[in-house]
């Protein structure tokens, strides 16, 4: 039954998932001309002679603007759980809720005792979608809203689920909507994986090796675990009979054992700093390679950018007469033919597979072949390390410049780290004035018997 209720007795529902009602001017003008054409659904407040709106928040707000004194309402006896579910479904059908508003609505339903399956049946959202939204509740609201204002998408937020550590997740969240997001994601994923490897390494070593601050005298280095990667190294057979020690820093673990060997000369402070910077630059160059590789492999707008692709192919293929066929097959997701690589029939079979794909997708295949000709790899970088002088200088790489020029024309976004590596401004590089301060290496007489 429809009941006319004064607008002053109607109040917005405090649990309405939709917080922003949008521009009400047009709706208010329509109500002035034609009146309210559809009733509201309300529930009575428990202790007051007022009502909470379940359906019709925009109509109520616009009616207040239009000066309407009474509104047609259906008074419902639905419980709080039903109210939240109804408002969520009604808003989704009539207007887009923000991702966070959806998450708030789903969380309220969970708090009222519903299940993921139950919410899915009531709202029509898939269980997967509901879980993705609920996981957003773990993130800081202000950071999430800032990311949304920068153009963050639900795909970006879903990508964050690859990261478990909440601090690292927020670190990646702060890069959403910027050209550094993919770079930051890769860095956070690696940092988290390194943390897991570190924990596993320490548990493994704790059974048979002793942690020390510095390498003990009378020991020799057995293994260096960079980034805490153990690979296939197994517990030594003489563990328990021979003393083992390990040192730990933020980047790696060094394993030592007692041995009757001459003491190794300890690294100087300059050598340690040099090694650390060189390792960091290798890591940065590797990550830059991985981003370039993934961008090219997953590129989906080849036809639109065919001119850039042909330019890349022309510039590269006119300089080099061959490419690694195995790498091309890998980029094309084509299984390598059986047989030895040096067999000419196997090589012909590879080319036949590649040509077959070219006839299906000429632009994309040409892009991948041209990219393969660049022989891009982690060592394709912008630095030259001089270990004898403890210097790491920026080094021009025209080939990599050409590759970046084309990739950016295709839509690839270089991170700030990549730009700093390319232009030589990265803090890990020695600047020219520092080089001038370094002593020249001593000349070696080729006839001095060395």
pLDDT in tens, the chain (450 residues): 889 999 999 999 988 878 778 889 999 999 999 999 899 999 998 777 899 999 999 899 999 999 999 999 999 999 888 888 888 777 765 556 778 878 888 888 888 888 999 888 887 889 999 999 999 999 999 999 899 889 998 899 999 999 999 999 999 999 999 999 999 999 999 999 999 999 999 999 999 999 999 999 889 899 999 999 988 899 999 998 899 999 999 989 999 998 755 556 778 888 889 999 999 999 999 999 999 999 999 998 988 998 888 777 756 654 554 668 888 889 989 999 998 887 888 888 888 888 788 878 888 888 888 888 888 899 999 999 988 888 999 999 999 999 999 999 999 999 999 999 999 999 999 987 644 445 555 544 444 443
How many residues are given for the chain? Answer: 450
Helix (H, G, I), strand (E, B) or coil at 355: helix
3-state DSSP assignment of residue 389: coil
Q: What is the CATH number of domain 1-138?
A: 3.90.1530.10
- pLDDT tens sequence across 280-333: 999 999 999 999 999 999 998 988 998 888 777 756 654 554 668 888 889 989
Query: Which residues have C-beta within 8 Å of that of residue 396, sequence separation ≥ 6?
Result: 382
pLDDT number for residue 449: 41
pLDDT tens digits, one per residue of 258-268: 875 555 677 88
Q: What angle do CA 434, 440, 444 make, to 5 degrees?
A: 155
Q: Is-contact 331 296, C-beta < 8 A? A: yes
β-strand pairing of 383-386 with 391-394:
antiparallel
Burial class (CB in 10 A: 0-12, 13-18, 19+), 443: exposed
Positive or negative torsion for Cα 335, 337, 339, 344: negative
| Tokens coding 348 | 């012909």
**Per-domain residue ranges of the chain:** 1-138, 206-266, 271-432
CA torsion sign for 214, 220, 225, 231 is negative
440: left (phi over 0), alpha (psi -120 to 50) or beta: beta
DSSP string, 411-434: T----HHHHHHHHT--TTSPPHHH
**What is the DSSP-derived secondary structure letter of residue 239?**
B
Decide: residue 428, CB within 10 A, 0-12 exposed, 13-18 middle, 19+ buried. Answer: middle
pLDDT at site 268: 87
């Amino acid at each position: 039954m429809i009941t006319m209720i004064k607008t002053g007795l109607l109040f917005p529902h405090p649990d309405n998932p939709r917080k922003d009602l949008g521009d009400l001017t047009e709706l208010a003008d329509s109500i002035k001309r034609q009146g309210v054409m559809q009733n509201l659904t309300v529930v009575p407040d428990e202790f007051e002679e007022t009502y909470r709106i379940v359906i019709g928040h925009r109509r109520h707000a616009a009616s207040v603007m239009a000066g309407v004194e009474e509104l047609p309402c259906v008074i419902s006896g639905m419980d709080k759980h039903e109210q939240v579910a109804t408002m969520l479904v009604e808003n989704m059908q009539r207007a887009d809720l923000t991702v966070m508003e959806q998450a708030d609505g789903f969380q309220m339903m969970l708090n009222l005792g519903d299940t993921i399956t139950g919410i899915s049946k009531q709202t029509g959202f898939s269980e997967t979608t509901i879980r993705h939204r609920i996981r957003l509740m773990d993130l800081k609201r202000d950071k999430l809203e800032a990311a949304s204002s920068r153009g963050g998408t639900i795909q970006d937020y879903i990508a964050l689920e690859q990261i478990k550590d909440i601090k690292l997740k927020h670190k990646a969240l702060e890069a959403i909507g910027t050209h550094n997001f993919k770079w930051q994601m890769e860095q956070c994923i690696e940092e988290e994986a390194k943390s897991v490897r570190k924990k596993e390494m320490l548990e493994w070593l704790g059974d048979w090796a002793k942690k020390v601050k510095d390498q003990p005298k009378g020991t020799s280095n057995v293994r260096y675990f960079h980034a805490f990667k153990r690979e296939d190294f197994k517990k030594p057979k003489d563990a328990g009979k021979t003393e083992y020690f390990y040192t730990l820093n933020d980047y790696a673990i060094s394993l030592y054992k007692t041995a009757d060997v001459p003491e190794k000369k300890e690294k100087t402070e300059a050598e340690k700093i040099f090694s650390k910077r060189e390792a960091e630059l290798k890591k940065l160059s590797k990550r830059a390679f991985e981003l370039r590789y993934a961008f090219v492999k997953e590129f989906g707008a080849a036809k639109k950018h065919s001119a850039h692709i042909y330019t890349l192919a022309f510039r590269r293929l006119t300089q080099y007469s061959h490419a690694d066929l195995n790498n091309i097959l890998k980029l094309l997701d084509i299984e390598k033919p059986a047989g030895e690589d040096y067999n000419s029939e196997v090589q012909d079979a590879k080319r036949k597979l590649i040509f077959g794909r070219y006839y299906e997708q000429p632009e994309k295949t040409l892009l991948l072949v041209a990219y393969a000709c660049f022989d891009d790899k982690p060592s394709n970088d912008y630095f030259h390390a001089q270990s004898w002088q403890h210097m790491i200088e920026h080094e021009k790489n025209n080939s990599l410049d050409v590759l970046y020029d084309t990739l950016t024309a295709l839509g690839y976004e270089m991170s700030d780290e990549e730009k700093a590596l390319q232009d030589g401004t990265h803090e890990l590089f020695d600047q020219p004035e520092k080089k001038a301060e370094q002593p020249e290496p001593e000349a070696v007489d080729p006839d001095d018997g060395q």
